[in-house]
Structure 1
Amino acid sequence: MVRWKLKHGAGQLFIYVITSSEIPDGQIEIKHCAFLKQKYYQRHPAFIYGIAGSYKEALDIVLKMFAEADESGMTGDVRGYLNSALGDN
């Protein structure tokens, strides 16, 4: 249901998404789902790596992502790790 609401622009008060950074050499960002309703994201859809029910939960997910990247030998490159795990080299 959360994914459907995100896709169709329905408001959700406590949902945060983990996306690719807008900065060229950036890693990932945590954004409130309301940001995705802006016109920019209609033209440039964000790639969502994760969905969380609170900002704290989003931070926990990001920390886990960085720990997994570190364990796989990709320290500091969580975006590269996530893309390789998804098969998007």
Structure 2
Amino acid sequence: MIWYDDLYLSENIEKKADKIKWKITHNAGMLHMYVISLPQNNDSLLEIISTKELMQRYYPKKNLVIVGIAKGYEEAVTMAATIVVETMNSLGSTNVKQYLKEKRKENQKER
């Protein structure tokens, strides 16, 4: 798994982000947690994946780029929509990958 530098997080899990990332990476079970990832195909904007699904032995996690973590499916959908709206406002298109790359560059310049 590849973690996006400026990870999107639900408000209620911001303080626990490192612990949650560790659990996801080490296949520890967590109920009602979802990750937002860049799509494995080019037909989608983002993917919402349950952490239960990620625990499956043969789930293709190697090149999975996680850009957000949400508690509950509704928050995951809201977070994905927020990312797409930010992309539209910034680029005028739905190229989420390009938007996140540019956002990462901007954040690195600020540091």
C-alpha contact (below 8 Å) 1:28/1:79 kept by paired residues: no
C-alpha contact (below 8 Å) 1:74/1:81 kept by paired residues: no
Q: CA deviation at 1:25?
A: 4.4
For 1:11-30, what aligned pairs fall within 5 Å after superposition? 11-30=29-48
For 1:46-57, what aligned pairs fall within 5 Å after superposition? 46-57=64-75
Q: CA deviation at 1:70?
A: 1.2
Q: 2:81 aligns with which of 63, 67, 70?
A: 63
Write the distance in 2 (CA, Å) between the matches of 1:12 and 1:48. 16
Aligned residue in 2 for 1:81: 99
C-alpha contact (below 8 Å) 2:53/2:59 kept by paired residues: no
Structure 2-normalised TM-score? 0.68
SS in 2 for 1:72: helix
Number of positions where the alignment pairs a residue of Structure 1 with one of Structure 2? 86
Letter paired with 1:32: S
Aligned residue in 1 for 2:90: 72
Write the distance in 1 (CA, Å) between the matches of 2:20 and 2:68. 12
Structure 1-normalised TM-score? 0.82
Against the structure 1 CA distance between its residues 73 and 41, is the aligned structure 2 distance closer, same or farther, given a 3 Å change threshold?
same
SS in 1 for 2:47: strand
Of Structure 1 and Structure 2, which has the larger fraction of its residues in strand?
A: 2
Q: Percent of aligned positions with the same letter in both sequences?
A: 31
